[in-house]
Amino acid sequence: MPTTPPPVGVRPAEAVNAEIRALLERTRRRLSDVERGEYEELLREYAAAMRGGVAAAA
């Protein structure tokens, strides 16, 4: 059964999760407005990667 590759430009969820963890580890404090924006963008990217993974698993 062929699998559909994730859309071009979508990183694997594991890679995005690692970047989220690195951001939080690096700051170790309340996020600044800029860091909060980066965090929110990473969360959106992570959600997209997870949706792609669910579609591929189906």
Q: Residue 46: its pLDDT value, please?
A: 97
Structure confidence at residue 8 (pLDDT): 63
Q: Looking at the domain assignment, is residue 2 inside a domain?
A: no
Please tell me the total count of domains within the chain: 1
Contact 12, 49 (CB under 8 A): yes
pTM: 0.74
pLDDT of residue 55: 58
Task: Provide the domain limits for residue 52.
Answer: 13-57
In a domain? residue 4: no
Q: List, for residues 3-56, the tens digit of each pLDDT value.
A: 555 556 789 999 999 999 999 999 999 999 999 999 999 999 999 999 986 655
- The reported pLDDT for the residue numbered 26 is 94
What pLDDT score does 3 carry? 59
In a domain, 35, yes or no: yes
Residues 30, 24: Cα–Cα separation, whole Å = 9
Assess if residue 53 is contained within a domain: yes
Q: Is residue 50 part of a domain?
A: yes
